[in-house]
Amino acid sequence: MAESTSATPWVRIREAVDHVGATVEIRGWVTHRRSSGKVQFVMVRDGSGQIQCVAGKKDLSEAQWEASESLTQESAVIVRGTVKADTRQVGGVELGLSSLEVVSLAPDYPITPKEHGVDFLMDHRHLWLRSPRQQAILRMRAEIIATFRDFMHAEGFTLVDAPIFTPNACEGTTNLFETQYFEDKAYLSQSGQLYMEAAAMALGRVYCFGPAFRAEKSKTRRHLIEFWMMEPEWAWATLEDIIRLEERLLVATVGRVLDRCREDLKIVERDTTKLERVKGPFPRIHYNDAVRMLKEAGREFEWGGDFGAPDETELSNRYDTPIFVTHYPAAVKAFYMEPDPVDPRLSLSCDCLAPEGYGEIIGSGQRMSSLSMLEQRIDEHGLPQSAFEWYKDLRRYGSVPHSGFGIGVERTLCWIAGLDHVRESAAFARMLYRLAP
């Protein structure tokens, strides 16, 4: 409850149910209106829910009644009235109006209840956000992010913010966004990982959470140009430790969304029985076994290659929970992966693939410990040694085994909310052909 301009308390629609019998004020936007001549039914939303407002001609002043008759979709209103229990209504209440103030009358709102094409909706993304489905998605995104932070904090990890302007590449040089930095060149961060490795040697357990930028020339349903990633880094941790941490995080995240976002999951029509099955431990598949499984399934796949989206789907469709694919060839991974002591062609890496074809949501691994091997990998990847001198210091001074991962918010949200395209997973998604609004 917040302060109101009148003696009537301003409540959010979600809270109205706690005020049955009382007079309250609600501030919101009109979604639709109908009238029986003598009675007006105005549906109002305020971001917390929607409520049917009912007014007879004699309930309002003449001017207010007239104004109510001209209300259009997305007009802004302040309404006051008595909260009445009504089990037929969403939220279990309706509002019997005693006052209606039109704050702003909206002419010809472009998004109507009829079907619109995706391009039209994306061009009007600033308005599309007001639709119930988009609101539900944004609330679930916020819940997922809150869970990430709460979970890491509870696990004893300290939040350390990584820079956005960086002088060096972390995830390869092919998708860097270059920008001018006074006399120098800088890149927009692809990942905060290298900085987290430094911070982990200071604080032991750290994570960063921020935007990542990749000039990916791929127009797929899971690639964004700008996405948000949480990246924990853990000193002394092995690949095994970090996989277990990922497992706990995913179980906690799905559990909390199921617990707190029931209504939103209903709005997006998510089959929640699939989410209820997300309990650890998740299956683990060694790269060599994954290759064998793909071949047995009739897919053409050469040992040593990276998995494409159809390969990932083939593997993950066999299970109800996320799966961990481990020990990828070093050649298909970034320069910083620790070699597998059992087979040095492989790396101590792990990708987490979400079920139902949602693909990779986490990339993780144990980090390279040997300075000389690290230098060799930097050369092999065509990276300049000079840009990594500071990073190599982490191997010179008190180097210890350490591991970490990066989890993408949008991909995780797509899976949990059952979205079939990543464009709905961010308020203003940046994609290959989309920079506006």
Contact positions vs Mg ion (CB under 5 A): 363
For residue 368, the minimal CB distance to ligand 4AD (Å) is 12
Partner interacting with residue 264 (select from Mg ion, ligand 4AD, none; CB below 5-8 Å by kind): none
Q: Which is nearer to ligand 4AD, 47 or 210 (CB)?
A: 210
* 285 within 8 A of 324, measured Cβ to Cβ: yes
The site partner of 228 among ligand 4AD, Mg ion, none (C-beta below 5 to 8 Å per kind) is none
Return the number of the residue (56 or 163) whose C-beta is nearest ligand 4AD. 163
Q: How far is the CB of 126 from Mg ion (least distance, A)?
A: 31
Please list, in sequence order, all residues whose beta carbon lies within 8 angstroms of the beta carbon of residue 195, skipping any fewer than 6 positions away.
Answer: 160, 162, 163, 208
Nearest-approach distance from CB 296 to ligand 4AD, in angstroms: 26
Q: Of 171, 264, 338, 424, which one interacts with ligand 4AD (CB under 6 A)?
A: 171
d(CA 335, CA 383): 9
55 contacts 39 by C-beta, under 8 angstroms: yes
240 lies in the binding site for ligand 4AD (CB under 6 A): no
Q: How many residues does the chain have?
A: 437
Residue whose CB is nearest to Mg ion in the complex, by number: 363
Would you count residue 14 as binding ligand 4AD (CB under 6 A)?
Answer: no
Please, which residue, 49 or 404, has the CB nearer to ligand 4AD? 404
Q: Which residue in 89, 73, 75, 79 sits closest to 32, CA to CA? A: 73
Helical spans, DSSP H, in 160-308:
193-203, 239-260, 262-267, 272-276, 287-296
* CB nearer to Mg ion: pick between 355 and 365: 365
Q: Is the peptide bond before 283 cis (omega within 30 degrees of 0)?
A: no
Q: Does residue 249 touch ligand 4AD according to CB under 6 A?
A: no
Q: Residue 425 interacts with ligand 4AD (CB under 6 A)?
A: no
- Shortest reach from residue 271's CB to ligand 4AD, in Å: 22
By CB under 6 A, name the one of 27, 49, 363, 413 that touches ligand 4AD: 363
* DSSP secondary structure string for all residues of 168-182: S-SS-STT--EEEET
Closest by CA position to 47, among listed 121, 141, 131, 140? 131
Nearer to ligand 4AD, 33 or 333 (CB): 333
Judged by CB under 6 A, does residue 405 bind ligand 4AD? yes
- For the chain, what is the radius of gyration of the CA atoms? 26
- Residue carrying the six token digits 């309404």: 79
Structure tokens at 278: 């997300």
Q: How far is the CB of 219 from ligand 4AD (least distance, A)?
A: 11
Interface with ligand 4AD: number of residues (CB under 6 A): 23
Decide: is 270 part of the binding site for ligand 4AD (CB under 6 A).
no
What does the alpha-carbon distance between residue 105 and residue 75 come to, in Å, rounded to a whole number? 5
Q: One symbol per residue from 184 to 223: x for binding ligand 4AD (CB under 6 A), - otherwise; what is it? A: -------x-x--------------------x-x------x
Does position 227 bind ligand 4AD by CB under 6 A? yes
Angstrom distance (rounded) from CA 112 to CA 354: 35
Token look-up 């559990």 returns 255
User: Is position 362 an interface residue for ligand 4AD (rule: CB under 6 A)?
Assistant: yes
Work out whether 404 is an interface residue with ligand 4AD (CB under 6 A): yes
Residues 199/182, Cβ–Cβ less than 8 Å: no
Q: Please report the beta strands in 47-137, taking only residues with DSSP state E, as ranges in sequence order.
A: 50-56, 76-85, 93-104
DSSP state for residue 346 in the 8-state scheme: B
What distances in angstroms separate CA 422 from CA 27, 98, 111, 132, 263, one per listed residue? 32, 44, 21, 18, 21
Output the smallest distance, CB 422 to ligand 4AD, in A: 6
Q: Which amino acid is at 6?
A: S
Nearer to ligand 4AD, 43 or 419 (CB): 419
Integer Cα distance of 328 and 306 in angstroms: 8
168 touches ligand 4AD (CB under 6 A): no
In angstroms, give the least distance from the CB of 416 to Mg ion. 19
Binding residues for ligand 4AD, per CB under 6 A? Answer: 170-171, 191, 193, 214, 216, 223-224, 227, 229, 231, 360-364, 404-408, 410-411
